[in-house]
Amino acid sequence: MAAQAETKDYQELRFALQRLGIPANLPSQKTFRITAVRGKGKGWKALRDIQPGTPIFDEEVLFWILEGAIVDDSFERYSGFSGLSCPAPVDSQHRFDVNSFGMGKGTSKGRRGKNKHGIFSQASRLNHSCIPNAYFAWNPKMSRSGRLTVYAIVPIPKGAEILINYRTFDSFKNKDQRHQDRRQYGFECACPACQSDSNFGIQSDERRERMGVLNDKIENRVPPTHTMESFSDLIELGNLLQEEGLSYPQLADVYHKQALWWKTELQRITDARESAKYKEECGEKALQAARKELDLDVMCNGYDSPVVKKTLEFVRGVS
């Protein structure tokens, strides 16, 4: 039974890679360089056009700590750390806080479950955008074992800056709130969503506010209701995310919930006298939405990521 599931997952993954047409491994030629970026210190610039889903770079951790541990001066012995930028107040803890990446849960004895954060000397040179074109994935176990990989999530033209979102969970906040929450980084973001004097910037605030309302409605439905309204909320949220240029992880989450909606719909009508055609349609829609989630997961985390493994199980569950 387990072997059958594995074969099915393998086929699903192969189809996803075919659909996406993305390189599974790092390109042989270097795709970026770290250079001075006006007003931002250093940053990453694309050396060639980069297709979405391309693993741009991967890197081993320089060092990591468990959440809550103190970073004192002794860490300055790592030259890859002491050379990193730090806004005022300049000290080791602050330097760590503004340059570190989440690495999932730690498993050291007695401290199981605490989050790990680490320094990656080159990835720490990535600047922020509220509409990023790249995503970083920490891959603890699989083939790119113990490495952080940076993926292009939209087409990145040659010469463009490669940017990640420092705080994806802030995506439904307006520009003032985002700025406030990011103050430890000590910079004013000037991405299209943060420009108060452009149409896009003004609409962005309205869009994000509406997305926040929809997201709260979707998240806080207790008990979760299954109605046409809950379905149209999910569709509207998906459309707004795309208008805003946000794809990962927010859009993947919406596809996941759309798949669940169709699955619930199928269960709801199982005993009812609905047409066989509608039942088939529900099954197909559930699978389509789950595959869209899978495509985004593969594109942004790599085919060998534990995140993808989980989504493959989900796809199997709805098909």
Ligand X SMILES: C[S@@+](CC[C@H](N)C(=O)[O-])C[C@H]1O[C@@H](n2cnc3c(N)ncnc32)[C@H](O)[C@@H]1O
Binding-site member from 31, 54, 124, 165 for ligand X (CB under 6 A): 124
Strands lying side by side in the sheet with 101-105: 63-66, 115-119, 101-105
CB 317 within 8 A of CB 9: no
| 99 sits near ligand X (criterion: CB under 6 A) | yes
Task: Please tell me whether the peptide bond between 132 and the residue prior to it is cis, using omega within 30 degrees of 0.
Answer: no
Which residue in the block uniquely carries the two structure tokens 């498993």?
A: 107
The whole-angstrom separation of Cα 162 and Cα 165 is 11
Size of the site for ligand X (CB under 6 A): 19
Structure tokens at 248: 């990962």
Structure tokens at 159: 């010469």
Residue 24 burial by Cβ neighbours in a 10 Å radius (0-12, 13-18, 19+):
middle
Question: Judged by CB, which is closer to ligand X: 44, or 303?
Answer: 44
Distance of closest approach, residue 166 Cβ to ligand X, in angstroms:
7
Q: DSSP alpha helices (H): ranges in 220-305?
A: 228-244, 250-269, 276-301
Question: Judged by CB, which is closer to ligand X: 86, or 287?
Answer: 86
Q: Which of residues 4-43 bind ligand X (CB under 6 A)?
A: 39-43
Question: Judged by CB, which is closer to ligand X: 98, or 237?
Answer: 98
| 130 sits near ligand X (criterion: CB under 6 A) | no
Site string for ligand X, 184-213 (x = CB under 6 A): -xxx-x------------------------
Site string for ligand X, 248-287 (x = CB under 6 A): ----------------------------------------
Distance of closest approach, residue 168 Cβ to ligand X, in angstroms:
14
Distance of closest approach, residue 34 Cβ to ligand X, in angstroms:
8
Query: DSSP character for 57?
Result: E
Q: 318: part of which helix (H) or strand (E)?
A: helix 306-318
* Residues in contact with ligand X by the rule CB under 6 A: 39-43, 84-85, 87, 98-99, 124-128, 185-187, 189
